[in-house]
Structures are given as C-alpha cells and as structure tokens.
C-alpha cells in the first residue's frame, strides 16, 4: 500500500498533466493544487521566494556587481527560514504520529504479516479503532505528501537561483543544508509508520488484506472529484423529465380553477421545500469543493466514503420527478382508480420509506448518518453536542414551514376527509387544513420546536464547557420564542374581534420583539457564525472565496431575508387570510435560500479554524477516551500518552 519515493531536482518549467488531454501547468500552480488546505501556512512560501528572485534579477540588470552579495545573503537567509519552518512542522507531526502509534501498542518487531493474533476487544470498540487507524494512516499520507512537495519546492527555487545568476551556490546549499535536513533524512519514517498501520489493520480485519487496503485507501490527495458517468447521465435524464412534467402540470393548472386546487397543492408545499433544500445542499457542497473547504472533515464524515455534490443533485432531481409525478397524478385523478386525496399521502409515505428503510439501497450509509444525527439533535439536552448536530438543528430552523406542512398533512387525513366516502367521491378536494380549536396553539408549538432544539444545545454546551458565549447564543434563540408568542397573541386577539387597543398592543410588542430579534440574529450571523466585521473593510483578514463582493452581497441578503423570515412567523399563523397564506407560501422558499447562503460562510469560518489548528483529519481522541473505559484495551502505561497529546 505504501510506495517508496525518490527525490530528484528537475529544472524549473511547466508540468504536463494528462487527464484525457495534455494540460500545461506551471510548477507554482501544480504545487498549490498538491497542498493540504489545512496546512497551507506551513508550506514554504515559494511565490515570495520566486518574486524575490525576479525583483532582484531586474535590479541586477543595472547593478549586478554591487548587489550580488546582498541578493545571495537575503535569498538564502529566506530559504533557511523556510527550511526551519518546514522541518519544525514536519518533526512535530512525525512525533505526534509516533506517539499515537505507541498509544495503540504497535511494536514493529512483534508484528508479522504471516501471523494474525485474535484481538479480544468488544465489537463496537474494534470498529472505533479501525476508524482511528484509518485517520492516522491518512494523516501520515498527508505528511508524506507534505515532505515531498516542500523538498521539490526548495529544489526548484535553488535551481532557479543558479540559472538566473550563473552560480552553483544553490547546488551547494542543497547538498549542505537541504539534503542533510530532517525533511530529507527522515523521509522513510512516514513509510515505516504507514507499514506498521497496514499490518495492524490487517490484524483487525482478521487477515483480510483487501478489506484492510480498502479501509486505508487514500483517495483525496489529488483533489480530483471522480464521478460515475451513469450518475451524470441519470441526473440529466431526470432534468429532462422534470421539464416535461412541469409543462404538463402548468397546462393542467391553467385549465382548472386555482381555488379548487389550493388545498391539494398546499399538501405538497412542505415536500417542495425539502427538495429545494436538498438541491441547495448539493450546491453548497459544490462551492465547498471549488473553494477548498473540507466539509467532510468539518462534519466528521469518512473521507473515503461520503456523498459528492453530484449524488445530492441526483437525489434532488429524482425526488423532483417523483413530486411532479404525484402532483400530476393528483390533478388527473378522475382518469385513475386512486382517489385524489390519497396521492399526497402515498408520496409522503414514499419519502418516509426512503429515509427509514433498512435495506442497503438509496445511499444507506448517508441515510444512517442522517438518522443518527437527527436522533442526537432530538436528545440535545441529554448528551454532548458536536458541530454536525448544531448544524442540522440550524437547518431545522429554516425548515419550520416543512414541519407546519406535515402538521397540515396530518390534520387533513385525520379531521377533514371521510375514508369511507373517499372512493365514491370523485370531486376535487375542497376541505380546509384547519385542525380545530387548538390550531393556533399547535402552530405556535411547531414554530418554537426548531429554536428549542438549538436553545437546548446551547444550554448543554454551556454545561459542558462553562463558556458564557453559549448562554448568549441561547438568548438569541429565546428571542424567537418571544416573536412566536406575541405573534400568536396578536392573531388570537384579531380572530376573536377583541378591542382594537388590545390588538394594537400585541402588534406593537411583536414589532419591537421582532426588530430586536432580527438585529440580534443578523449580528450573530455576521460576527460569530461567519467571522466577519473583523477588519479588511467589513470582512476578515483571510477569505476563501475569490471575490469580496460575494461577502457584501451575502451580508445584504442575510439582513433582507432575516426580515422576511420574521414576517413569515406572523403570516404563517393567519389561517383565516388567503392573502397571508399565499404570502407565507412565497416567503418560505426564501428562508431556505438564506440558509444556503448561511451554510457557505459558516463552513468557511469553520475551515479557517481548522487551518489555524492545522487539523487535516478527524480527531479520534474522542473515540479513544471511550476505549479507555475498557481496561483490557491497552496497557496502563499508554493511557498517559492519550491524555497529554494535543487534540485538534
């Protein structure tokens, strides 16, 4: 699984990479593509050294003899500083990997590929150990790539020096400093440690070398996204079907009284938001890939096996085909043997089956991850909270209309239709989606449910960490409770024809609370979640997206869409107003778009935090702490190593 690499210094020039056809790339572009994003600050500053040579070379055209000595001293002083920086980082990471192997109790002379002793550990712990070994192997592969690239860059820049000044000083520096540094003398240690991990993984897999190789596969060093051609074909085919189905639906709606269709179409509103959200998540992942944001690391996903943006797009367009087909079948129910009222129920039952079916189909691992994370979100006050759980709960806050749509679906099938007369009644659905006298209370509780999840998570984080910032974050979600409460009181007073003064009082209080909530949420979005307003204009010192106007446009959009979100809280409770219901239906997709924008900059901020900590792989020390509970897992002397190592 490991390969021996030899270092050769080649003359500078362009590189030809074959990927279907020849593509000319400069060495700088090639080296930038090969960098580990989280370690970029630890690589040598090749461009700054190159610009130093180019600048001094132009000066030497005029004053070559007077500045030759100063150019040499300054250039090789910079090379020495860069070499020391790289050596220090390389040695620290190598020592960290060695200590982690020691924590596993792996000793090279005692491990042989022909003898696979049975490891007596609990099944769950063996799975966790396999994850930890896989991440450690990946970090060593990154470190090996880091060592090779920095060595090549230093070779290139010194060759460029010799070429520009007709000197052999660069060759001398390579022989005396570069080739004798840790970057070159310790290059076999990564391969040695990786070989130990390969053997250990074979033991864990019971001697199955193929399964061990699959678990240790390193797939993302070249940063190329491999997509199956059939995935692209199916996505394009589904898009064509969607266009045809939407055209057919539009023609049918134009020939039918829209008022008769509204109750039926409202039952599909929630699922439409879900499909929109899924498509925008795919677009999020596409943007992350193009901007070197390691979303799989941020969410704690397996870097060897997770969904790409193209898989998400395929699921989104596939569900859109199913959605359009169900709507079209509902509109043409007179020519079908299935009653019109049953089509929304069948479609939503199909969605539930896709999520919860126990078979290894329809992206089973991704569905399992989503289900487990959802359960952790629901159990927020009772267990520790990670980034993925906080992120998913935030998504639920933007999908509040989806939960209201599910409420409408439940009310419709429990209160508004007669199951006995359904098969004999061929008239269109005209029943309302009212749940009765408790309709307003149920609406308020559903609107408070997503912010309650985040509120409980913030309290749990404060309990675990003691950081008062978590209490401030909880206060932000508490303002949503106040907005929902006073919106409900205003609508209740308006519906029962109370005194105008009482109605106005509740409206003014709701307006004040809403203004406060919008200011608080927008400020938190920009400052805490996105890390903006810290300099560089209104932005921050380091940006991952290419254009600054992206950030300013997102800031403006966040303010406007937060206002529309706050107004929609009030409109969603006005069940007696057709205009309010229409406006609420139009504003709900805008909040999903706002969440798409929020995701872009929230994960950018998290990526920058990982870059500051040089954290390029998942932190498996949380797993290791659970393994320490089993006293038979490792010798006691290894426990101190686990606790003293620095975590990402």
For the cut 90, the answer to whether the pLDDT of residue 497 exceeds it is: no
Lowest mean pLDDT among 166-175, 281-290, 442-451: 166-175
Domains identified in the chain, total number:
3
Residue 5, domain member (yes or no) = no
SS3 (DSSP) at 164: helix
Are 399 and 257 contained in the same domain?
no
Q: What length is written for the chain? A: 648
For the cut 90, the answer to whether the pLDDT of residue 126 exceeds it is: no
Closest among 417, 414, 411, 415 to 429, alpha carbons compared: 417
Residue 499 has a pLDDT of: 73
Residue 361 has a pLDDT of: 85
What are the φ and ψ backbone dihedral angles of 112, each rounded to 5 degrees? Answer: -130, 145
Across 248-262, 421-435, 540-554, the highest mean pLDDT is recorded for 540-554
Give dist(CA 189, CA 414) in Å, integer. 67
* Domain stops at, among 165, 200, 223: 223
Query: 């960098």: which residue's tokens?
Result: 35
Mean per-residue pLDDT for 26-45? 87
CA R_g for the chain: 30
Residue 403, domain member (yes or no) = yes
Q: Judging by beta carbons within 10 Å of its beta carbon (0-12, 13-18, 19+), is residue 210 exposed, middle or buried? A: exposed
Residue 625, domain member (yes or no) = no
Q: What is the pLDDT of residues 513-564, one digit of tens each?
A: 999 999 999 999 999 999 998 877 889 989 999 899 999 999 999 999 999 9
Residue 112, domain member (yes or no) = yes
Closest among 333, 351, 322 to 422, alpha carbons compared: 333
Residue 485, domain member (yes or no) = yes
Residue 128 has a pLDDT of: 80
H/E segment holding residue 24 = strand 22-26
Mean pLDDT (the chain, rounded): 83
Are 277 and 191 contained in the same domain?
no
Residue 114 has a pLDDT of: 46
- Beta carbons of 504 and 567 less than 8 angstroms apart: no
- Beta carbons of 161 and 169 less than 8 angstroms apart: yes
Q: Quick one: tokens of 542? A: 């380091």
Are 143 and 232 contained in the same domain?
no
For the cut 80, the answer to whether the pLDDT of residue 222 exceeds it is: no
How many helices and strands, by DSSP H and E, does the chain display? 23, 2
Residue 637, domain member (yes or no) = no
Give dist(CA 234, CA 242) in Å, integer. 12
Residue 297, domain member (yes or no) = no
Are 26 and 135 contained in the same domain?
yes
Are 267 and 153 contained in the same domain?
no
For the cut 60, the answer to whether the pLDDT of residue 641 exceeds it is: no
Question: Could you write out the DSSP letters of every residue in 506-561?
Answer: HHHHHHHHHHHHHHHHHHHIIIIIS--SSSSTTS-S---SS-HHHHHHHHHHHHHH
Q: Quick one: tokens of 364? A: 């089973």
Strand partners, 18: 22
Are 171 and 243 contained in the same domain?
no
Q: What is the pLDDT of residues 50-98, one digit of tens each?
A: 888 877 554 454 344 445 566 778 888 999 999 999 999 999 999 888 8
Mean per-residue pLDDT for 26-49? 87
Strand partners, 23: 17
Spell out a b/e string for 83-121, using b for 16 or more CB atoms within 10 Å of the CB, else e.
bebbbebbeebbeebeebbebbebeeeebeeeebeeeeb
Are 578 and 515 contained in the same domain?
yes
Query: 């000793």: which residue's tokens?
Result: 107
Give dist(CA 576, CA 565) in Å, integer. 20
Across 226-235, 264-273, 279-288, the highest mean pLDDT is recorded for 279-288
Question: Could you write out the DSSP letters of every residue in 404-462?
Answer: HHHHHHHHIIIII--TTTTTT--SPP-------TTHHHHHHHHHHHHHHHHHHHHHHHH
Give dist(CA 160, CA 170) in Å, integer. 8
Give dist(CA 301, CA 281) in Å, integer. 16
Query: 């966790």: which residue's tokens?
Result: 128
Mean per-residue pLDDT for 99-124? 52
For the cut 60, the answer to whether the pLDDT of residue 27 exceeds it is: yes
Mean per-residue pLDDT for 491-511? 86
Query: 């490991």: which residue's tokens?
Result: 2
Residue 169 contacts by C-beta under 8 Å, 6 or more apart in sequence?
72, 76, 161, 162
Residue 451 contacts by C-beta under 8 Å, 6 or more apart in sequence?
397, 477, 480, 481
Are 569 and 613 contained in the same domain?
yes
Residue 271, domain member (yes or no) = yes
Q: Quick one: tokens of 622? A: 């949380």
Domain limits for position 591: 371-418+438-617
pLDDT band at 100 (very low <50, low <70, confident <90, very high): confident
Residue 434 has a pLDDT of: 63
Give dist(CA 406, CA 87) in Å, integer. 58
Closest among 554, 536, 541, 548 to 600, alpha carbons compared: 554
Are 337 and 380 contained in the same domain?
no
- Beta carbons of 149 and 89 less than 8 angstroms apart: no
For the cut 80, the answer to whether the pLDDT of residue 17 exceeds it is: no
pLDDT band at 599 (very low <50, low <70, confident <90, very high): very high
Are 600 and 457 contained in the same domain?
yes
Mean per-residue pLDDT for 426-450? 74
Are 235 and 215 contained in the same domain?
no
Residue 588 contacts by C-beta under 8 Å, 6 or more apart in sequence?
269, 273, 401, 568
Are 48 and 180 contained in the same domain?
yes
Q: Quick one: tokens of 414? A: 């429990």
Strand partners, 26: 14
Strand partners, 166: none
Mean per-residue pLDDT for 503-515? 93
């Amino acid at each position: 699984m490991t390969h021996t690499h030899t270092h050769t210094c080649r003359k500078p020039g362009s590189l030809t990479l074959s990927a279907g056809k020849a593509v000319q790339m400069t060495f700088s572009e090639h080296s930038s593509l090969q960098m580990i994003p989280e370690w970029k600050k630890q690589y040598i500053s090749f461009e700054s050294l190159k610009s130093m040579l180019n600048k001094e070379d132009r000066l030497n055209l005029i004053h070559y003899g007077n500045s030759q000595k100063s150019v040499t001293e300054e250039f090789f002083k910079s090379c020495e500083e860069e070499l020391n920086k790289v050596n220090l980082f390389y040695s620290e990471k190598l020592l960290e990997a060695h200590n982690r192997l020691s924590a596993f109790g792996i000793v090279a002379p005692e491990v042989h590929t022909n003898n696979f002793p049975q490891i007596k550990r609990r099944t769950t712990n063996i799975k966790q150990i396999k994850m930890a070994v896989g991440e450690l192997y990946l970090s060593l592969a990154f470190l090996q790539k880091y060592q090779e690239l920095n060595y090549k860059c230093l070779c290139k820049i010194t060759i460029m020096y010799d070429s520009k000044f007709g000197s052999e000083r660069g060759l001398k520096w390579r022989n005396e400093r570069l080739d004798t540094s840790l970057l070159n003398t310790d290059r076999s240690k990564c391969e040695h440690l990786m070989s130990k991990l390969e053997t250990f993984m074979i033991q864990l897999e019971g001697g199955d070398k193929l399964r061990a190789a699959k678990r240790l596969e390193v797939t993302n060093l070249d940063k190329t996204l491999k997509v199956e051609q059939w995935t692209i074909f199916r996505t394009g085919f589904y898009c064509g079907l969607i266009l045809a189905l939407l055209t057919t639906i539009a023609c049918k709606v134009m020939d039918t009284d829209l008022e008769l269709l509204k109750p039926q179409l409202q039952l599909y509103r929630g699922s439409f938001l879900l499909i929109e959200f899924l498509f925008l998540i795919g677009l999020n992942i596409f943007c992350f890939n193009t901007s070197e944001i390691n979303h799989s690391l941020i969410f704690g996903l397996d870097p060897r096996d997770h969904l790409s943006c193209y898989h998400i797009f395929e699921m989104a367009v596939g569900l859109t085909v199913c959605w359009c087909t169900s709507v079209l079948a509902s509109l043409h129910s007179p020519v079908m043997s299935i009653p019109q009222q049953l089509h929304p129920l069948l479609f939503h039952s199909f969605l539930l089956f896709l999520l919860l079916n126990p078979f290894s189909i329809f992206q089973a691992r991704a569905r399992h991850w989503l289900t487990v994370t959802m359960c952790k979100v629901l159990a927020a006050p009772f267990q520790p909270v990670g980034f993925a759980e906080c992120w998913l709960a935030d998504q639920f806050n933007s999908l509040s209309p989806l939960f209201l749509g599910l409420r409408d679906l439940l009310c419709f099938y429990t209160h508004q239709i007669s199951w006995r007369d359904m098969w004999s009644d061929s008239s269109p659905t005209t029943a309302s989606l009212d749940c009765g006298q408790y309709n307003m209370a149920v609406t308020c509780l559903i609107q408070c449910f997503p912010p309650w999840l985040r509120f409980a998570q913030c309290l749990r984080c404060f309990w675990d960490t003691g950081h008062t910032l978590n209490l401030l974050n909880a206060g932000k979600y508490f303002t949503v409770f106040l907005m929902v409460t006073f919106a409900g009181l205003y609508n209740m007073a308006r519906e029962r024809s109370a005194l105008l003064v009482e109605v106005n009082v509740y409206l003014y209080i709701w307006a004040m609370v809403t203004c406060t909530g919008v200011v608080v949420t927008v400020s938190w979005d920009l400052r805490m979640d996105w890390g903006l307003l810290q300099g560089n204009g209104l932005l921050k010192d380091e940006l991952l997206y290419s254009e600054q106007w992206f950030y300013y446009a997102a800031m403006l959009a966040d303010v406007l869409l937060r206002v529309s979100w706050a107004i929609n809280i009030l409109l969603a409770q006005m069940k007696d107003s057709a205009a309010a219901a229409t406006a609420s239906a139009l504003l709900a997709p805008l909040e999903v778009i706002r969440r798409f924008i929020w995701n872009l900059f929230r994960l950018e901020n998290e990526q920058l935090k990982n870059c500051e900590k040089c954290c390029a792989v998942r932190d498996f020390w949380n797993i290791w702490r659970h393994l320490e509970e089993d006293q038979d897992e490792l010798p006691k002397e290894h426990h101190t190593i686990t606790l003293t190592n620095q975590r990402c």
